[in-house]
Amino acid sequence: MIIGVPKEVKDHESRVGITPAGVRALVDAGHKVLVEHNAGHLSSFPDDEYQAVGAEIVGEASAVWGLADMVVKVKEPVAKEYGYFREGLVLFTYLHLAPLKELTDTLLAKKVTGIAYETVRDRAGSLPLLTPMSEVAGRLSVQVGAAYLEKEHGGRGVLLGGVPGVPPGNVCIIGGGIVGTNAAKIALGMGAKVTLVDLNLNRLRELDDIFSGRVYTLASNAYNVERAVCEADLVIGGVLIPGAAAPKLVTKTMVSRMKKGAVIVDVAIDQGGCIETARPTTHSDPSYEVDGVVHYCVTNMPAAVPNTSTLALTNATFPYVMKLAKLGAKAAILEDAGIAEGVNTYEGHLTYKAVAEGQERAFTPISQLLSK
Ligand SMILES: NC(=O)C1=CN([C@@H]2O[C@H](COP(=O)(O)OP(=O)(O)OC[C@H]3O[C@@H](n4cnc5c(N)ncnc54)[C@H](O)[C@@H]3O)[C@@H](O)[C@H]2O)C=CC1
Ligand SMILES: CC(=O)C(=O)O
């Protein structure tokens, strides 16, 4: 198979889909890998490291996309990449289609097989290709939030850890999954008071055990969410319903009642965000203010630390890349139910139910298409 690795073009997206270690394994297995010039540069993987393990360095993105059977990326394609789509192309990357109708339309019209990292499942039913980036983003969310709480950055001037005689900052984390747990670890480490809100009571029980009672846990309902966000200095959004647009749990009214100079980091913004006042921002222009509350809603937070993030992401994605290359997409989807869960678009059909429901479109199960 010919595998293409383009340079990412989304704002400040500095990760890369395959590292030289992955190229080496693919080339050893008899595949050809085309890497766009400087694709790995910002993750500290220069062209010569790829070349040394057998990659062909290609100057133009159009050639990488045009010659490859499968393109392996990091982020969802942006509009200027849509022109590269063509029938039969396999695209393996984050897609986040629920809030992205135009991208969905184009993948369907061009009959691209779109396999989304964020909906691939493992045998335990978890999301192995989302987890590493949620670990990074969860940890980063507290770092970023702490910085925005500084007066200089528009915040209310609260030090999360407090000092003797002055109480610590109050961090409210909505969603106690991977993002939430990692955010809680860092916030506790900094000495903050941490409240974790989740709908799943068993998850709250686990969190209570994991943190030995050092976090406050709250069942998710509008009353509890409102009270928790109004008391918070920093609110972190980490809710997920896989593949679907995130529910807006913090309303505009709740935001208007928050402390002036409080900070919101809505990590769930890649799925549309769980805060009503959140809108996607970029690393170039990451924050804005609503009702005196600073909002940070960057859709590709892990790109801030690309060396760590690329290594963490590709540790998880590479076994799937290898399987798709070895078997071809169709056979890999048939053989691996977890990869089948990742298929969002196939031969012009929308094959992920939560995306179809969110966009009010027709849904065709992948099993129905492949059993034909
Ligand atoms: N902006 C960025 O750069 C990044 C964004 N993300 C996003 O962060 C979000 C969270 O990801 P993970 O932590 O991996 O998901 P996860 O599935 O591990 O956790 C989500 C949690 O939300 C909880 N939840 C669902 N409905 C809820 C409700 N109504 N109230 C309270 N909690 C509720 C679930 O019970 C679960 O514990 C996803 O949208 C993911 O794509 C992840 C990495 C980077
Ligand atoms: C998961 C995601 O949105 C990211 O890593 O950019």
Report the distance separating Cα 292 and Cα 262, nearest Å.
8
In sequence order, the β-bridge partners of residue 328 are none
**Domains of the chain, earliest start first:** 2-119+306-370 (3.40.50.720), 133-296 (3.40.50.720)
Q: Rounded to an integer, what is the distance from CA 192 to the centroid of its chain?
A: 25
Half-sphere exposure of 84 (CA within 13 A, CB side): 22
Contact (CB, 8 A) for 77 and 103: yes
What distance in angstroms lies between residue 175's CA and the mean position of ligand 1's atoms? 6
Q: Which ligand is nearest to the CA of 269?
A: 1
Phi and psi at residue 323, to the nearest 5°: -65, -45
Angstrom distances, CA of residue 89 to CA of 72, 92, 247, 328: 11, 10, 32, 11
Report the distance separating Cα 347 and Cα 87, nearest Å.
8
Report the distance separating Cα 321 and Cα 61, nearest Å.
20
Q: Which ligand is nearest to the CA of 282?
A: 1
For 291: left if phi > 0, alpha if psi spans -120 to 50, otherwise beta; the answer is: left
In three-state secondary structure terms, 38 is coil
- Mean pLDDT of successive 10-residue stretches along the chain, which has 372 residues: 97 97 98 98 98 98 98 97 98 96 98 98 96 98 98 97 98 98 98 98 98 97 98 98 94 98 97 97 98 98 98 98 98 97 98 96 96 62
What distance in angstroms lies between residue 177's CA and the mean position of ligand 1's atoms? 6
Q: What pLDDT is attached to residue 371?
A: 74
- For atom 37 of ligand 1, the residue with the nearest CA is 177
Q: What pLDDT is attached to residue 240?
A: 96
**Binding region for substrate:** 15, 75
**Binding region:** 15, 75, 134, 198, 203, 220, 239-240, 267-270, 279, 298-301
Contact (CB, 8 A) for 206 and 180: no
Q: What pLDDT is attached to residue 107?
A: 98
Report the distance separating Cα 227 and Cα 250, nearest Å.
11
Residues near ligand 2 (Cβ within 6 A) = 75, 94, 130, 133, 270, 300, 302
Catalytic residue, chosen from 233, 270, 295, 349, is 270
Residues near ligand 1 (Cβ within 6 A) = 118, 130, 133-134, 137, 174-180, 197-200, 203, 220, 238-241, 246-247, 249, 267-271, 299-302
Whether 270 is a known active-site residue: answer yes
- For atom 4 of ligand 2, the residue with the nearest CA is 300
Mark out the alpha helices in the chain (DSSP H runs).
20-28, 47-52, 61-67, 101-109, 131-148, 178-189, 201-210, 222-231, 252-256, 306-327, 329-335, 337-342, 353-358, 366-370
Contact (CB, 8 A) for 281 and 288: yes
Contact (CB, 8 A) for 347 and 330: no
Q: What pLDDT is attached to residue 127?
A: 97
**Single-letter residue type at 28:** D
